[in-house]
Amino acid sequence: MKRAWAFAFANLRRNRKRNLATVAAIAFGYAGLVLLGGYVVRIERFLKANAVFIQHAGHVAVWKQGGLDNAAAEPDKYQFDRAQTDAILAWAKADPRVERATRYLRGVGMAGNACATRPASLLGIDPQEHAALLQHPELLTASPELARPAQGQWAYQVRDAPRGVALAAGLQKILQKPKVFDEVRGKPPAPTVLDCDTDKVTEQLAADADIQVVGQTYDGTLNAVDGQMVASFHAAEPVAEETAMIVPLSTLQSLYATERVTYVALLLRDTADAPQVAADLKAALAAKAIATETYTYADQAWAPYYVGTMAFLGSMVGFITLLVTAVLVFTVAGAMTLAILERTREFGTWRALGFQRGHVIGLLVRESLLLSLVGLAVGLAIGLCATYAVNAAGIRFSPPGVAGTMQLLITPAAWACLGQAILLPPGIMAATWWVVRGQMRKKPVDLLNAATA
């Protein structure tokens, strides 16, 4: 049928008022989906950056075989020695897909302020390697606030503190160390022996940024190192807010009297390479008789919070999308039923003029498609305007599992908008086809005399 689209468009214009409500329903439904999709995209980027750079999962991480489960219990057996670490670093350096490799040592100890001690979860990382992570464009794009300390400067930024450590903000409060190294530099030091049982202690503790870390070497000897608190930060998980501590790798190695590292994390130029890089690295190390296990940031065992949260959000958003789509399809089906009933005589006239059933059905389906597209376009515009308004409002909120607050940002992605948009027209067209087909079974004479028109 020639000019069918023009004909359908003219019909829609002719019934502007009637179609307005239908377009509004589609538009608001789709705008809601755009906002929801944009929120999920934003959360995904945030959580991924949080997992890769702040929880130090990397895009790919390599552990000694069984290390993820046993490294804490048997560090000597399940951590990499110097030669094994060098082999991993050499492989990473030679592979063009790998941007950089970072060594980590994990352990526990007691953090002290000369009066009291608290258990601490220690993460050892070379300050320069830490700098590269915190300045990474992927992190800065996803959430620059994640890269900033809560107070002070990171160890790589403080040249005159060779053992600069960073404490989680909760641990800093409990140890009563309100000032970081930069704030006490050049000021009179605290007394050598503090008056721990008197009221003077609060002032004395605040006079310096010294922290003692006590731990057990791998051969069972008690050991201690001194450090200067150069920064405090919000831990990636609330549970760690009162225990987490970042220590220079060499300092932590000297505390445990070891050269070992717990794992090595790789940052990739293209995240999509992660599964292949993980497989290739494992195979390459196996060829050198180093048994390893490799994980990507999307592995449940390695990045459970990111994977679990995204699975939950995925379920939630899928459920909502399904509900909204179903409501929209029924709404449009209802509106089309009314329109078709009203236009029964018009259809009878077309049939009498020689239009076949298929022509009329095709025309109505085209009308519904155009209606959907107009609704989607308007919905996209509303969704983007609402996005701009929400982002400009600077709303902050406290999602579960994140220490502190984060800004409510909505970042609609083209692929997400397109994916949600693709869902709607087929449903709406199918509903129209189903409604029209029933009516078109009637003879032209019955259509012309229909009482519903």
- Asked if 227 contacts 164 with a C-beta cutoff of 8 angstroms, the reply is yes
Contacts with other proteins in 140-199 (CB under 8 A)? 170, 173-174, 176, 196-197
Is 433 among the residues that bind other proteins (CB under 8 A)? no
Q: What's the rounded Cα separation, in Å, for the pair 120 and 109? A: 5
Closest approach of Cβ 93 to other proteins, in Å?
32
Among 157, 163, 156, 148, CA closest to 211: 163
Nearer Cβ to other proteins, position 115 or 448?
115
Nearer Cβ to other proteins, position 158 or 336?
336
Q: Which two tokens stand for residue 347?
A: 């259809």
For residue 250, the one-letter residue type is S
Nearer Cβ to other proteins, position 266 or 380?
380
Q: Which two tokens stand for residue 266?
A: 């790789």
Here's the x/- map for other proteins, 200-239, by CB under 8 A: it reads as: ---------------xx-xxx----------------xxx
Nearer Cβ to other proteins, position 13 or 219?
219
Contacts with other proteins in 26-55 (CB under 8 A)? 28-29, 32-33, 35-36
Is 16 among the residues that bind other proteins (CB under 8 A)? no
Is 5 among the residues that bind other proteins (CB under 8 A)? no
Nearer Cβ to other proteins, position 275 or 399?
399
For residue 445, the one-letter residue type is V
Instruction: Work out the number of other CB atoms within 10 angstroms of the CB of residue 74.
Output: 12
* Piece of 25-33, 131-139, 247-255, 353-361 that binds other proteins (CB under 8 A): 25-33
- Asked if 403 contacts 235 with a C-beta cutoff of 8 angstroms, the reply is yes
Identify any residues that bridge with 166 across adjacent strands, giving them in sequence order: 231, 246
**Which residue in the set 247, 267, 328, 421 belongs to the binding site for other proteins (CB under 8 A)?**
328
Closest approach of Cβ 116 to other proteins, in Å?
5
Nearer Cβ to other proteins, position 29 or 164?
29
Indicate if the alpha-carbon torsion angle 78, 84, 86, 90 is positive or negative: negative
Closest approach of Cβ 131 to other proteins, in Å?
27
* Piece of 88-96, 125-133, 284-292, 333-341 that binds other proteins (CB under 8 A): 333-341
Per-position DSSP letters for 399-432, written without gaps between them: -TTSSS-EE------HHHHHHHHHHHHHHHHHHH
**Which residue in the set 338, 418, 422, 445 belongs to the binding site for other proteins (CB under 8 A)?**
338
- Asked if 432 contacts 12 with a C-beta cutoff of 8 angstroms, the reply is no
Here's the x/- map for other proteins, 57-96, by CB under 8 A: it reads as: ------------xx-xxxxx--------------------
* Piece of 3-11, 17-25, 79-87, 146-154 that binds other proteins (CB under 8 A): 17-25
Report how far apart, in Å, the C-alpha atoms of 19 and of each of 104, 314, 335, 372, 438 are: 62, 33, 8, 10, 21
For residue 81, the one-letter residue type is D
* Piece of 58-66, 311-319, 359-367, 413-421 that binds other proteins (CB under 8 A): 311-319
Closest approach of Cβ 145 to other proteins, in Å?
18
Is 390 among the residues that bind other proteins (CB under 8 A)? no
**Which residue in the set 257, 323, 381, 389 belongs to the binding site for other proteins (CB under 8 A)?**
323
Is 124 among the residues that bind other proteins (CB under 8 A)? no
Nearer Cβ to other proteins, position 275 or 304?
304
**288 three-class SS:** coil
Q: Please enumerate in sequence order all residues whose Cβ is within 8 A of that of 38, keeping only pairs 6 or more positions apart, or say none.
A: 383, 387, 410, 411, 412, 413, 416
Contacts with other proteins in 288-307 (CB under 8 A)? 300, 304-305, 307
Is 335 among the residues that bind other proteins (CB under 8 A)? yes
Is 438 among the residues that bind other proteins (CB under 8 A)? no
Q: What's the rounded Cα separation, in Å, for the pair 324 and 332? A: 12
Nearer Cβ to other proteins, position 279 or 388?
388
Count of residues that interact with other proteins, criterion CB under 8 A? 78
Per-residue exposure over 370-380, b if at least 16 CB sit within 10 Å of its own CB, e if not: bbbebbbebbb
Nearer Cβ to other proteins, position 38 or 149?
38
Nearer Cβ to other proteins, position 152 or 215?
215
Among 192, 133, 175, 126, CA closest to 155: 126
Nearer Cβ to other proteins, position 192 or 289?
192
Is 257 among the residues that bind other proteins (CB under 8 A)? no
Q: What's the rounded Cα separation, in Å, for the pair 164 and 356? A: 82
